[in-house]
Structure 1
Amino acid sequence: MAPVSVAGAKRVAVRRGAWIVFADECGQTLRAHKATTWAPRGATPVVKVTAKGTVRVSVAGLCCYRPGERSRLIYRTLLYRGHKGEPKGFREPDFIALLDAAHQQLQAPIVLVWDRLSTHRSPPIRKAIAARPWLRVYLLPSYAQELNPVEKVWSTMKRSLSNHCVSTATDLTAAVKNRLNRMQCRSGLIDAFFTGTGLSPPTPARP
């Protein structure tokens, strides 16, 4: 694994005929995000939320880019209900399973770009990367969220959940998946997330 510039990752991907895949994780709890809304004059809008407990939906997402192909969003969720022994977030086997699934779906080598989270640099991850000749991994500079289009995915998802009330872990998971599934169907939106990273939107090849 090595530091990377977006332009450098693109050059490596072109040489290998690979997809550039940006990765990141986020979490969503039962506490709704506040946002401005409409209400009758003089009536303050009230949003009732369920903030008790430690329920959390963790999401690991991949924004996938290759010129001439439709942009892709691939994700997995992990529900933490606060029970003893439950994982609170994604671990090394979860990340590897997601990358293997992405490779199977994309049917091409992957140039993976992600941040410097300790889990991303752990010995099990390094061993798994070394065992996968189709995978090259590069690390983003520290504090460089603007270079990762997946951050835009999270921002859009959380904004769409503003003032949205759910009371159970099942409902929260369904709401998160609903927003992400909608984005998966809008490749043009995923294209827009790439523009801020220095990558031009890919133009799908004509049949």
Structure 2
Amino acid sequence: MIELGDARRLSPAAQEVVRLRVVAALESGRVRTYGQAAEMFGVSPRSVGTWWRKYQTAGREALAVPVKSRSGPGELISDVDRATLFQAMADHTPQELLIGGPLWTRATVVELIRMVVGISMTEQGVGKWLRRHGFTPQRPTRRAYQQRPDKVTDWLDNQYPAIAARARHENAVVAWTDQCGLRSDTAPPGRSWAPKGHTPVVKVNGKRLRVNIMSAITTRGALWFTVFTGRFTATVFIRFLDRIARQAGQKVHVIADRHPVHRSKAVHAWLTENTQRIELHLMPGYSPELNPDELLNADLKRHVPAARAHSTTHLAHEARRFLHRRQRQPHIVTGYFHARHVRYTLM
């Protein structure tokens, strides 16, 4: 399956697939404008227009990847063997195949080729071979092994579309919420220029300071939050939900993770009494990548220098100041929803 993002980063073969899908969508009438096609497939309207004109002029062949001749002998690995190797890399980790750790490195690919095809290659040769076929070294995305892919699929295909449809029918708003903590003993102090070999010293607070943040965001750029120093309890969550309902001025469908507080009896009882104001929907477990509010958390931790806070009060003040600034920047909040893994929220 081709995952759409920045099409320029896809392999030539994957780019061809994207071009053909764009043209097919325009030809079938599923999309009527270049802008609609660009938004659907994550490409630019200008590219859509270029591909469409090429297709109308020269047909499907005009969208194909140009064949480049290569000097020297052909590849030792056949097309069939190459497909087998790539499928093995997609379906398994080196650890599962007993040839290495959890990540595919040049060394583990060398061993896979030797084991499956019986051909010995150098690590440098394997690196060139992988790049030739559209592979690049990338930082892996973290996924909990407890995550249930079937639950995630059901959320994306059925549950969330139903929530979004109900919200539109009720003229309600959908808010994504999450909680996080800021700690002075884990946050890095940042970077500073210094002569090579002379590591700079930055004074930080040696005490362990912590504040907690509960926030909620919407696709229109609204942001609600609360900063507190105590534990995250049902009472804290209920107060936050009540604040959202009051400040939104309309019914709110709140989407949250499956934290025990969110599933507590006290929260359930309060929601039962306030069904006309607010409803709570829980995402699949161990799936933080589905929540756009996680991007606000990352933004907060990146810009608030927690390690330099003098006290808990100071740390809470810096967190509130940052979140108040984001409230005045709805375009940034809206931008969180355009990340590839949470773009589904814009339906």
TM range (shorter): 0.7 to 0.9
The C-alpha deviation readout for 1:85-138, integer Å capped at 9, x for no partner, is xxx422112211111111111111011100001110011010001000222211
Give the deviation of 1:62 after TM superposition.
Answer: 0.8
2:222 pairs with 58, 72, 75, which one? Answer: 72
Q: Indicate the residue corresponding to 2:203 in structure 1.
A: 48
Partner amino acid for 1:187?
A: P
Q: Indicate the residue corresponding to 1:93 in structure 2.
A: 235
Q: Indicate the residue corresponding to 1:200 in structure 2.
A: 346
Partner amino acid for 2:163?
A: A
Moved more, 165-174 or 115-124: 165-174
Counterparts of 1:6 and 1:188, CA distance in 2: 23
Q: Tell me, yes or no, if structure 1 residue 131 matches structure 2 residue 281.
A: no
The C-alpha deviation readout for 1:27-55, integer Å capped at 9, x for no partner, is 112226226523132332222222324x3
Q: Indicate the residue corresponding to 2:168 in structure 1.
A: 14
Cα distance change of structure 1 residues 190 and 6 upon mapping to structure 2, 3 Å threshold: farther
Secondary structure of 1:121's partner? coil
- Equivalent residues of 1:149, 1:194 under 8 A apart: yes
Cα distance change of structure 1 residues 32 and 46 upon mapping to structure 2, 3 Å threshold: farther
1:116 pairs with 255, 258, 269, which one? Answer: 258
Secondary structure of 2:205's partner? coil
Equivalent residues in 2 for 1:122-161, closer than 5 Å: 122-133=264-275, 134-161=277-304
5+ long unaligned stretches in structure 2: 1-153
Secondary structure of 1:199's partner? helix
Taking structure 2 as the reference length, the TM-score comes to 0.50
- Equivalent residues of 1:30, 1:167 under 8 A apart: no
Q: Tell me, yes or no, if structure 1 residue 63 matches structure 2 residue 63.
A: no
Greater RCO, 1 or 2 (C-alpha within 8 Å, sep 6+): 1
Q: Indicate the residue corresponding to 2:178 in structure 1.
A: 24
Counterparts of 1:111 and 1:95, CA distance in 2: 15
Cα distance change of structure 1 residues 44 and 95 upon mapping to structure 2, 3 Å threshold: same
Moved more, 42-51 or 176-185: 42-51
- Equivalent residues of 2:189, 2:204 under 8 A apart: no
Matched residues, number? 186
Counterparts of 1:92 and 1:99, CA distance in 2: 10
Secondary structure of 2:226's partner? strand
Counterparts of 2:258 and 2:304, CA distance in 1: 28
Give the deviation of 1:195 after TM superposition.
Answer: 2.2
The C-alpha deviation readout for 1:40-80, integer Å capped at 9, x for no partner, is 32332222222324x32111111124xxxx4211000112x
Cα distance change of structure 1 residues 30 and 36 upon mapping to structure 2, 3 Å threshold: closer
Taking structure 1 as the reference length, the TM-score comes to 0.81
Counterparts of 1:103 and 1:45, CA distance in 2: 48
Partner amino acid for 1:46?
A: V
Counterparts of 1:35 and 1:7, CA distance in 2: 42
Cα distance change of structure 1 residues 60 and 163 upon mapping to structure 2, 3 Å threshold: closer
Structure 1 runs of 4+ aligned residues shifted over 3 Å read 3-6
Q: Which has the higher strand share?
A: 1
Counterparts of 2:189 and 2:162, CA distance in 1: 38
